[in-house]
A and B are shown apart, each in its own frame.
Chain A
């Protein structure tokens, strides 16, 4: 089974659990799909549209309104950069910019080799460690542009 057919089968299984439902169950369905596959693929959205009799443009509109939905699979290393108030005050913008430069990837995207993805989050509740980033759930405290370089290099080396 290819990745896509596997994913579509999973999507169909989720939709089966919501028979005859209307537009009000759109968000729960999208959440469930994302939980299963890590992101919302085009094929999944089309399938949801058929199931709920909603135009894809509308579903795409709803999904892009909320930060929680992703349209690309996350990378092997999913890096969340906290842009909350405390982190902002201690220079998280510069951390983010260096990170984007270091892995040549814009926030919200996944690198072509599937190694990295960057997500900006509002606050991850670790203000005492600001500025903080989280890689696959593991926190890195008081990061600086220099440390970013080291962290990324370590990850690359790990991968090789």
Chain B
């Protein structure tokens, strides 16, 4: 199909919107509310174009391309309309870009600059809303909200949570939780997907900057940091490197330059999770325990289960997440080994996830009143910290993580992508059941780019049906299928974010799905090239069990590595 754009003929496909056709041909119009793969809402009107034969401008995001249509994307009339829209959005916007967390990363700011808006032409009554700082993970500033609706849609149509929605009408419209009671009593699972789609500074993580700074500058504190599997392959994007570049060595060096005394790798405790979780799974299968068993490393999922499916809590693995296992080991095992008091350690997690901030402050994640993980930084916050300290990551020499909690197998590293926990668990469960290693570690079915992947394996005469699922919209479908008998899954990996941690709410904000694919490929590449590809082969894991923990599911394991869940009363 041919359409004429700015006097040139371009090709469009059946079912394309004007916006799709433009993108296919390397052209673009600005958008503020558009979200790939979701039904266009046409709320922001930024993408308007002039169409011959139409009296009004039409929205490119929602208008279907038709044979022979003639459109102009940047005519005087179009530019004027877009400029006016931005001016109207700015008319009640707080003018505090300099103090805004999104300064230089704000889509509204960028568009205003692109359209050469240098003065306030329209002034309206300023929005006067209070900050919502009730959540441990996410801060909402409705005054900066332009009501594009992306956060509402990602929460409802991608995640399936619906913690927030438009409330009120007209110029009193504001995005709010139910009864305006605040995020902490809402059904928000802290995944932070809303932050990654917000075009302005209306949503951000709850920062743990100051506490960390104080700890680093306290000579009495030993500051121990752990970084999650996906951080080393996503932080590069914050420094202008290609998506998927692995900078683990440089990141270790940067962390030490900042002043962290010890650098551990959460991929190590991911390996430990696999040891415990696979033992738990086999125990449940062989002893008629509660099945299906669900993974429990995603704190978003754990909260979702607690509030929406309390009946499933016995089905959740009792294993803590890698972050919390590491936290418990740092203030238990490591403190003992080094002869320091747990209260003299300040433990920091660097996570791709805002929900990890919530997880770290859970009551269960303490020993004798001391929190296992004191503060959590997202990938974005770590990048800010590196910039604050003026560290040029391009000129650093790579360094290794510290032992005994810093050596990983590539199975632990795979935790960073959806399906990774499953692949790692299969490798170790296979070994535990057969006494042999798998011939081919890679499980292609699980690496498919879908919200749900199911397969069945036969290991040593034992039939094992597994499923990997992301987002709660898909999880609800899976639960229905299990109820109706359509799915026979016995072991289920659940992650809140669409592609797992690599697309987590704390990751660098990228406009393209291509970047997220690159992140995933980078993890698979690391796995392909690794010498140790299964958790049970990790020599430091073996040593930890020999020296300290004893057996998986043993007494010490239960004390440090396992937890329990409780029903949560929130506004569903």
Contact = CB atoms under 8 A, between A and B. Distances in A.
Interface of A: 42, 45-46, 49-50, 55-61, 64-66, 71
A60 B165 contact: yes
Contact of B166 (A45, A61, A66): A61
Nearest to B167: A64
A54 B54 CA distance: 39
Interface stretch (B172-180, B485-493, B513-521, B527-535): B172-180
Chain A's interface: helix, strand, loop or mixed, by majority?
Answer: helix
B179 A58 contact: no
A58 B162 contact: yes
24 contacts: A42-B571, A45-B178, A45-B179, A55-B162, A55-B163, A55-B165, A55-B178, A55-B187, A56-B179, A57-B162, A57-B163, A57-B164, A57-B177, A57-B187, A57-B571, A58-B162, A60-B167, A60-B178, A61-B165, A64-B167, A64-B169, A65-B166, A65-B169, A66-B169
A86 B508 CA distance: 56
B194 to A, nearest CB: 13
A40 B571 CA distance: 15
Contacts of B168: 64-65
B169 A60 contact: no
B455 interface: no
Given A55-B156, A57-B187, A60-B179, 13 more contacts: A46-B572, A50-B572, A55-B161, A55-B162, A55-B178, A55-B187, A56-B179, A57-B164, A57-B165, A57-B571, A58-B156, A58-B165, A61-B176
B324 interface: no
Contacts of A66: 169
B186 interface: yes
Nearest to A50: B572
Interface in B186-220: 186-187
B156 to A, nearest CB: 8
A49 B162 contact: no
Contacts of B165: 55, 57-58, 60-61
A31 to B, nearest CB: 17
Contacts of A71: 179
A47 to B, nearest CB: 11
Q: Across the A-B interface, give the 5 residue pairs with the lowest CB-CB distance, nearest first.
A: A55-B162, A56-B178, A61-B165, A64-B167, A57-B165
Interface residues of B, number: 18
B571 A46 contact: yes
A71 B180 CA distance: 12
A119 B571 CA distance: 27
A65 B176 CA distance: 12
A113 to B, nearest CB: 23
Most buried by B among A46, A49, A61: A61
Most buried by B among A42, A50, A56: A56
A58 to B, nearest CB: 5
A35 to B, nearest CB: 21
A59 to B, nearest CB: 8
A13 B169 CA distance: 30
Nearest to A54: B162
A147 B457 CA distance: 83
Nearest to A59: B178
Contacts of A60: 165, 167, 176, 178-179
Contacts of A57: 162-165, 176-178, 186-187, 571
Most buried by B among A42, A49, A58, A64: A64
Interface string B545-572: 0000000000000000000000000011
Most buried by B among A55, A57, A60, A61: A57
Contacts of A50: 572
A59 B166 CA distance: 10
A42 B179 contact: yes
Interface string B149-170: 0000000100001111111110
Interface in B131-163: 156, 161-163
Nearest to B181: A42
Nearest to A60: B178
A65 to B, nearest CB: 5
B72 to A, nearest CB: 36
Contacts of B179: 42, 45, 56, 60, 71
A55 B571 CA distance: 8
Contacts of B572: 46, 49-50, 55-56
A137 B177 CA distance: 34
Contacts of A45: 178-179
Contacts of B161: 55
Contacts of B163: 55, 57
A50 B162 CA distance: 14
A55 B247 CA distance: 42
Contacts of B571: 42, 46, 56-57
Nearest to A56: B178
Interface in B207-241: none
Nearest to A64: B167
A61 B179 CA distance: 9
Nearest to A49: B572
A61 B168 CA distance: 7
